[in-house]
């Protein structure tokens, strides 16, 4: 069965410092991996995705993520955090054996707090 784990409920980082939000996954086939961000009282916004190819994926707002097949991880990173990055971040996975229905399984979310 597909699953996604985000082991940290909250990540605290000082503005200007690098940030990492962790995600590990479990699928039967090959994973399609996504990161979304949710600001308060808003819908989810797509940040980036990994489908195939280069393990380092670059996305919106300076975020990037590294796919590691051996560790079944897809951690979200940013070299220099901004206070405006404070939000709820969701990792999601789709199994390429899901019958083609684009069924995303979401992690529980990680709250990122960037302090001035």
Partner 1 sequence: DTAVSQTPKYLVTQMGNDKSIKCEQNLGHDTMYWYKQDSKKFLKIMFSYNNKELIINETVPNRFSPKSPDKAHLNLHINSLELGDSAVYFCASSRSAGSYYEQYFGPGTRLTVT
Question: Of 22, 77, 86, 106, which one interacts with partner 1 (CB under 8 A)?
Answer: 106
Residues in the chain: 116
Question: Of 1, 43, 53, 70, which one interacts with partner 1 (CB under 8 A)?
Answer: 43
Pick 15 or 64: Cβ nearer partner 1: 64
Smallest distance, Å, CB 16 to partner 1?
A: 27
28 binds partner 1 (CB under 8 A): no
Q: How many CB atoms lie within 10 A of CB 50?
A: 20
User: For residue 8, with 0-12 CB atoms within 10 Å meaning exposed, 13-18 middle and 19 or more buried, which class applies?
Assistant: middle
């Amino acid at each position: 069965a597909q699953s996604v784990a985000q082991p940290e409920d909250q990540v605290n980082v000082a503005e200007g410092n690098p940030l990492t939000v962790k995600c590990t996954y479990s699928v039967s086939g090959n994973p399609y991996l996504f990161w979304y961000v949710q600001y308060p009282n808003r819908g989810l916004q797509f940040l980036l995705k990994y489908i195939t190819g280069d393990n380092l994926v670059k996305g919106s707002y300076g975020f990037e993520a590294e796919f590691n097949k051996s560790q079944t991880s897809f951690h979200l990173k940013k070299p220099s955090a901004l206070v405006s990055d404070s939000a709820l971040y969701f990792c999601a996975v789709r199994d390429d054996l899901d019958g083609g229905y684009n069924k995303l399984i979401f992690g529980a979310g990680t709250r990122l707090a960037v302090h001035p």
